[in-house]
Amino acid sequence: MLGDNAYNGGTDAEHTNKYFDVYQKILANTFTWPCIGNHESYTSNGQPYLDAFYLPTKTQSAGVTSNSELYYSYDYGNIHFISLASIVANVSAKGPQMAWLK
């Protein structure tokens, strides 16, 4: 998922009503890899998003340890995916997200 999945403000109710309730049957048998968007960050710097998903921070899915659910990576088959946070994480060249990415 590419972010902005919980319009308008990224509240817990929006995650529930506009995602989990809508896709309940699909989610019972599959998983998703979300990325935080600016709308998810509007409420408590994205805390409802972080509470709604359990994301790999310590190589649980063959990615590199990030120690943050805001940005993470995982492998699916022979593809390495990277999810970055451009709104609520430090995006400076010397910040922890960039150090992790390198």
pLDDT for residue 27: 93
> Residue 3 — very low, low, confident or very high, per pLDDT cuts 50/70/90?
confident
pTM: 0.85
**What is the domain partition of the chain in residue ranges?**
12-101
pLDDT for residue 65: 92
pLDDT for residue 89: 85
Please give, one letter per residue, the 3-state secondary structure of the chain.
CCCCCCCCCCCHHHHHHHHHCCCHHHHCCCCCCCCCCHHHHCCHHHHHHHHHCCCCCCCCCCCCCCCCCCCEEEEECCEEEEECCCCCCCCCCCCHHHHHHC
